[in-house]
């Protein structure tokens, strides 16, 4: 008779055990020759070596199912143990980027978002450029979470330029984290929709998910990571060059930005505009342009973008006439 320990380090134990051990009791019916003792994250298995291995394989399949679909019901366990596949979930998996919290299905909802997903599948360096509300950041974060769950990367790195404070945050109240969080909140918001709160906090505490302002990227090599630079229009030319050259051999970079909302001082050129000029036709780099047709916020947002765009075009024309 053999004895072995199984550690549930990559999933909340309640996902496997169920409420009041309901799933664990179901599992025992499939492994009647095994004695299973569950304590916290550890399952002690006592019985035949072959049965122990079969049980471990079953648990691995349950964890993989949960990571892919965001749920593991007793019905799922029965299907996985019998080898049947839920055709609805099989079809779902072709267009769902990631399963979020409380049954949320994160999908590419517009043609521009679909192009962004496809571009990330083909290239390790992708620029997603478009106006507010087109889901650039949200889609990129979903792709990053999927890559982490599928173990394609070891970590996620999310960054933005804290340009509103000129990268000088000393006058704001609180410690460094409290000073920075307002600039990084949109990234936190997306993550909290896709990863359970406790698990997300654990990821952040263990640097599996890192969220920091762009200035903190200097000197680093970012490898085995899915890296997102958000609001890249507010990165200076030197900052964006610095960021791009952090790319390690096994990294994927997504740069998002809106060239109509540059907050840099007038005498400070945007690094994103320079990157568009220099890199648009570079091999291995994908540019995805989203527009007001990809807006998924309130229907008025699309109209507002159109109106402000027309106003901007008129001002540019007037400025040229003055010259």
- Residue 2 phi, psi dihedral angles, 5° rounding: -105, 160
Same domain assignment for residues 253 and 211? yes
Task: Give tens-digit pLDDT for 118-154.
Answer: 999 999 999 999 988 888 999 999 999 999 998 999 9
Positive or negative, the CA dihedral 26, 29, 30, 32 is positive
Locate 126 and state its tokens.
């992708």
Say if residue 121 is exposed, middle or buried (CB neighbours under 10 Å; 0-12, 13-18, 19+): exposed
Q: Which residue has the higher pLDDT, 203 or 84?
A: 203
CATH number of the domain where residue 13 is located: 3.30.1370.10
Q: What is the model's pLDDT at position 45?
A: 92
- Say if pTM beats, i.e. exceeds, 0.85: no
Boundary-marking domain end, from 90, 124, 147: 90
225: which DSSP letter?
A: E
Same domain assignment for residues 130 and 84? no
- Residue 251 phi, psi dihedral angles, 5° rounding: -110, 155
Helix (H) and strand (E) counts in the chain: 12, 11
Same domain assignment for residues 182 and 286? yes
Same domain assignment for residues 63 and 119? no
CATH number of the domain where residue 135 is located: 3.40.50.300
Core vs surface per residue 236-245: b (16+ CB within 10 A) or e: bbebbebbbe
Same domain assignment for residues 257 and 288? yes
Q: What is the model's pLDDT at position 74?
A: 86
Q: Which residues pair with 125 in a beta bridge?
A: 253, 285
Number of domains within the chain: 2
Question: For residue 42, how many C-alpha atoms fall within 13 Å in the half-sphere facing its CB?
Answer: 6
Same domain assignment for residues 34 and 108? no
Boundary-marking domain end, from 44, 69, 90: 90
Going by pLDDT thresholds of 50, 70 and 90, the confidence category of residue 9 is confident
Same domain assignment for residues 48 and 105? no
Query: Smallest Cα–Cα separation from 210: which of 236, 246, 174?
Result: 246
Task: Give tens-digit pLDDT for 275-287.
Answer: 999 999 999 999 9
Is the per-residue pLDDT at 91 higher than 70? no
Question: For residue 127, how many C-alpha atoms fall within 13 Å in the half-sphere facing its CB?
Answer: 26
Boundary-marking domain end, from 44, 67, 90: 90
Same domain assignment for residues 247 and 102? yes
Instruction: Determine the structural domain holding residue 39 and report its residue range.
Output: 2-90
Q: What is the model's pLDDT at position 293?
A: 78
Neighbours of 201 (CB within 10 A): 12
Task: Give tens-digit pLDDT for 189-236.
Answer: 889 989 988 889 999 999 999 988 888 898 899 999 999 999 999 999
Same domain assignment for residues 181 and 291? yes
* CB 226, CB 147: distance < 8 Å: yes
Q: Are strands 285-289 and 125-129 parallel, antiparallel or unpaired?
A: parallel
Core vs surface per residue 23-54: b (16+ CB within 10 A) or e: beeebeeebeebebebeeeebebebeeebbee
The SS3 of residue 24 is helix
Same domain assignment for residues 126 and 272? yes
Same domain assignment for residues 194 and 315? yes
Please give the average per-residue pLDDT across 94-114, as a whole number: 81
Same domain assignment for residues 84 and 202? no
């Amino acid at each position: 008779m053999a004895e072995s320990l199984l550690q549930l380090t990559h999933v909340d134990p309640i996902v496997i055990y169920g409420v009041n051990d309901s799933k664990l009791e179901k599992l025992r019916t499939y492994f009647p020759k095994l004695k299973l003792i569950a304590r916290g994250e550890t399952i002690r298995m006592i019985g035949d070596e072959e049965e122990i291995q079969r049980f471990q394989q079953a648990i691995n399949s349950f964890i993989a199912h949960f990571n892919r679909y965001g749920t593991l019901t007793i019905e799922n366990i029965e299907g996985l143990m019998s080898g049947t596949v839920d055709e609805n979930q099989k079809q779902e998996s072709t267009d769902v980027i990631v399963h979020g919290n409380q049954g949320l299905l994160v999908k590419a909802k517009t043609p521009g978002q679909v192009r962004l997903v496809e571009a990330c599948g083909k290239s390790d360096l992708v620029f997603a450029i478009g106006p507010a509300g087109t889901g650039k950041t949200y889609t990129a974060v979903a792709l990053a979470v999927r890559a982490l769950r599928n173990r394609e990367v070891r970590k996620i790195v999310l960054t933005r330029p804290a340009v509103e404070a000129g990268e000088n945050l000393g006058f704001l109240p609180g410690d460094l984290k409290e000073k920075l969080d307002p600039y990084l909140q949109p990234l936190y918001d997306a993550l909290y929709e896709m990863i359970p709160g406790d698990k997300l906090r654990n990821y952040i505490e263990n640097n599996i998910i890192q969220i920091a302002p762009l200035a903190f990227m200097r000197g680093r090599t970012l490898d085995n990571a899915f890296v997102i630079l958000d609001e890249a229009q507010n990165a200076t030319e030197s900052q964006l060059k610095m960021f791009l050259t952090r790319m390690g051999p096994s990294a994927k970079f997504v740069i998002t930005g809106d060239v109509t909302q540059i907050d840099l001082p007038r005498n400070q050129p945007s690094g994103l505009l320079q990157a568009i000029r220099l890199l648009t036709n570079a091999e291995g780099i994908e540019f995805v342009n989203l527009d007001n047709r990809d807006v998924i916020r309130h229907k008025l947002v699309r109209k507002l973008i159109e109106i402000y765009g027309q106003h901007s075009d008129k001002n540019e024309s007037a400025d040229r006439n003055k010259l």
